[in-house]
Amino acid sequence: MTGAAVPGPDGGLRCPWGLSTADYVTYHDEEWGRPVHGDDALFERLCLEAFQSGLSWITILRRREGFRSAFDGFKISSVAAFTEADEERLLADPGIIRNRAKIRATLANARVLADWPAGELDDLIWSFAPGPARSAPRTIADVPAVTDESTALAKALKKRGLRFVGPTTAYALMQACGLVDDHLADCVARGGGR
């Protein structure tokens, strides 16, 4: 069955994408699909998913520390205070993806979120977590790119003034932050396994 869980170096079955590089193995086993809470932590994931748009996730994952350094650890209050000089600094930083539209969206989003009460981003995002009724995917073909919940989340974020948050980006955020568990049914990491 193509796209089914495959054995890793330790013999445990994993989602096929989670074995393509050592970086992916660690991310797959220890982070992807685990619940993430906190406004700054969710802001980081939202930003990274937006930067990933049109690129492979490994490109973002390998530059994650560069992003964290460039964006002051994704502290919303800090990024909201970035100036035009900071934007130019970011555009010259080889440690991140130097895309003007994505950088501007990140700064604009931080400014919007800085006005929200503490915990509001966390509450809003998690309010779109689907119920547990969905069955575990058996193959990667069973994993959607967009769901009704991700479409609704994207719409809610846009309505509140956030940018670069389409339904596909919103679903990737939901997967990465544990709102949904899209580890394959036979994957050792399903349900927080490892």
What residues are annotated to the active site? 27, 49, 57
**CB-based contact 168:33 (threshold 8 Å):** no
**Phi and psi torsions of 7, nearest 5°:** -70, 135
Residue with tokens 């970035």: 82
Q: Cα-atom radius of gyration of the chain, to the nearest Å?
A: 17
Q: What is the DSSP letter of 164?
A: S
The secondary structure element, H or E, covering residue 14 is strand 13-14
